[in-house]
Structure 1
Amino acid sequence: MKAFSCRVCGNALYFENSVCVSCKTNLGFSRTERAIVPVDGKGQYVDADGSIWHVCKNLNLSGCTWLTEFPGGFCFCCGLTRTRPSDEDVVGLREYKVAEEAKRRLIVELDTLGFPIVPRTEDEVNGLAFDLLSSVEEKVVTGHDSGVITLDLAESDDLHREKVRVNLDEPYRTMLGHFRHEIGHYIEWQHVRGDLIGTARELFGNEEESYADAIDRHYSEGPPAGWEKNFISMYATMHPFEDFAETFAHYMHICDTIETASAYGLATVASPQTFTSFRDLVIGVWIPLSIALNQINRSMGKPPLYPFVIPTPVLEKLQFVADLPRAARA
């Protein structure tokens, strides 16, 4: 994430700010400008071309600060959500706010990385949509199916998520991580095709293997011995689909953290996209940076920020993922 500042007073801003805490100017996020901009008393912003933008309909419901072309309408990011909790579901709506905040970061990074995002409302076959469902009264299974990403909003609750993390012996579990993992399934579904299938199978395995059998095997036998030499996580060992999604999530983790570190002077890389070789970026920038961040966390009595080791086979997988935007444009 880049560093933002108020255009009125120059005060530093967080991506989620709807008001500048210094000069009290109302704010909105312009996706077209990739900037936080001042909004007038009517909730409007006039850009350099004279176009009028309006605050999102979900400003008060989910804390969305994004701007939309349509008065009283949803912004691009909120428009991707197909289903949300009902107005009567107090718990679900509280969790929904956390999920939408993570989703906004996801969309910004996909824009940064060069992955096109087509809403399902515009393309019923290949478009993207999110069902953010409350599990207060029903069971919800997080997953991806033909462009629709379903997320259990209970994962927004810290106590619930930590309990699941411990039970599954996971080193890391966040709502943003869920979004990045599931969007990985969508990206593979959309972009790993044609000539790329062969290379993907060499790296991740044959995606045509039975997924149901893989699930049963994973939860009954656990990961194979020595999995750390070829996979980024235990979950990645379950099936080639999961290996790709886990790799894609880590690709996003790495890119976003490096960009943020650069924006705040903690790294000298202008942008992860300036590196032709993602391997070189990981070895030369990410590994030293993540070690430093892990040590900083330990200095605060916290667990490592990035508790993962990246072996050489995973570097090859990350390079494949990093090359996908160029392949998509070709």
Structure 2
Amino acid sequence: MRNFTCTSCGNEVFFENLTCLQCDHAVGFDPARSKMVALEAAEDSSWRAIGAGEPSGLVCYCDNYQYDVCNWLRPAGAPSGLCLACGLNRTIPNLAEPGSLTAWRNLELAKKRLIYSLSRFRLPMDGSKWNKGRLAFDFVRNATTGHLNGVITVDITEADTVERVRQREYFGESYRSLLGHLRHESGHFYWTILVEASGHLDGFRAVFGDERQDYGAALANYHINGPAVDWQNQFITAYASSHPWEDWAETWALYLHIVDGVDTANAEAHRLRAAGMVPPAPGGAKSGFDAYRATRVDTLIDRWLPLMVAMNSLCRSMGHEDFYSFVIPPPVDAKLAFVHRMVRKFAAQPAG
């Protein structure tokens, strides 16, 4: 994720901030411009963006601002009181139940990062024009996390760290996070649009295998017998070996990890330069590399791999396990390249 600055004073502000800690102005995220903006109160609970070049129109916080779960903005007078991201919620937790508000807050933080990435890619969130579903979210208790016809369901117990670690150990997963879940499940939705509806099934099957094999039987076999003994040579995770749809979803999640991780590292490099830990860029220039617009997937992977080595080394120096322990074998390189081509093909299409 790119860095943000307060449009009033220029101080750094973060994606989740509600206030600039230097000038004390309220701040919010404008999804139309992927930008954090400083605000001054106007009339009728509306706000005006402040700073050089900021538009004069009035904006409002999302209605979920009142629950401290959202800092996104919407135009004043918009038909919905919800922002772009919260408008995708079909079901939220029962806030009368203890712990539900905290769980919802954690889920929204993860979901906002997903929606930010999808917006940076210019990917659609409504598949109606392709006779597919609309991206939506059900955050409920005692549910099975998964995807169906555009609806991503997440059991809110996943928002509890202790429960998530228990599930990680039970399923033998070395990496498990809310954002990872949402990225994975969004992959199922985008398969229906980028692959199925866009006529790329033959290309998909050549790389991932034939998805027409019985999905339920494949998952049952995986849970009973486990993955193939050589899965590390073909797949990014053991679960990816269960069925081509899951292979795509796991690879899709990895691709989003890579792009956003590289984008964040590129944005944060200035801190290391300021501390004298890496040489300054020639002429003080900033990197013009945009991970979300990279034309080649290998340019992303070439940046990702040394970044993960550095992250893992830092974790070990602090007495923790590796931050990210996955190895990318050649077949996964090919799968990542396929995902990248599908995203770039869609991003290159005219809007509308």
Which TM-score applies when normalising by structure 1? 0.92
Does residue 1:99 correspond to 2:99, yes or no?
no
Equivalent in 216, 219, 230 of residue 215 of structure 1: 219
Verify the 8 A CA contact 2:48 2:56 in the aligned structure 1.
no
Paired with 1:224 and 1:309, the residues of 2 have a C-alpha distance of 17
- Paired residue for 1:311? 329
AA of the residue aligned to 1:286:
W
Q: Which amino acid aligns with 1:78?
A: C
RMSD between aligned residues: 2.1
Partners of 1:175 and 1:317 in 2: CA distance? 23
The corresponding residue for 2:283 is none
Whichever residue aligns with residue 138 of structure 2, its letter is D
1-structure distance, mates of 2:31, 2:108: 16
Please, which of 56, 59, 83 is the counterpart of residue 53 of structure 1?
A: 59
Deviation of 1:275 after TM superposition, in Å, equals 3.2
Structure 2 distance, partners of 1:217, 1:229, is 20
Name the counterpart of 1:286.
304
Q: Distance in 1 between matches of 2:220 and 2:291?
A: 38
Cα distance change on mapping 1:167 and 1:317 into 2, 3 Å = same
> Which position in structure 2 is the counterpart of 1:85?
93
Which residue of 2 is the match for residue 323 of structure 1?
A: 341
1:198 aligns with 202
**Please, which moves more after superposition, 88-97 or 176-185?**
88-97
How far the C-alpha of 1:327 sits from its partner, in A, is 2.4
1:124: Cα distance to partner? 8.7
The normalised TM-score by structure 2 is 0.87
CA distance in structure 2 between the partners assigned to 1:230 and 1:160 by the alignment:
30
Structure 1 residue 38: deviation in Å? 1.0
Q: Equivalent residue for 2:84? A: 76
**C-alpha contact 2:315 2:323 (8 A) present in aligned 1:** yes
Deviation of the 1:125 alpha carbon: 4.6
Cα deviation 1:178-209 (Å, max 9, x = unaligned): 00000000000121025410110111111111
Percent sequence identity over aligned pairs: 36
1:17-56 Cα offsets, whole Å, 9 max, x none, are 0011222111110011211101223441348443221111
Q: Residue 216 of structure 2 aligns to which amino acid in structure 1?
A: A
Contact between 1:77 and 1:104, CA under 8 Å: does it hold in 2? yes
Report what 2:284 is aligned to.
Answer: none
Of 303, 319, 327, the match for 1:301: 319
CA distance in 2, matches of 1:123, 1:153: 31
In structure 2, the CA distance between the partners of 1:130 and 1:70, relative to structure 1 (3 Å rule), is farther
Q: Are the structure 2 counterparts of residues 274 and 75 from structure 1 closer, same or farther at C-alpha, using a change threshold of 3 Å?
A: closer
Aligned length: 324
Distance in 1 (CA, whole Å) between partners of 2:102 and 2:298 is 40
Give, in angstroms, the shift of residue 279 of structure 1.
Answer: 2.4
Unaligned ranges ≥5, structure 2: 273-277, 279-286
Matches within 5 A, 1:129-168: 129-133=136-140, 135=141, 139-168=142-171
- Cα distance, 1:173 vs. partner? 0.3
SS of the residue aligned with 1:53?
strand
Q: Aligned runs of 1:223-238 on 2, under 5 Å?
A: 223-238=227-242
**SS of residue matched to 1:68:** strand
2:111 counterpart letter in structure 1: K
Q: 1:4–1:13: 8 Å Cα contact kept in structure 2?
A: yes
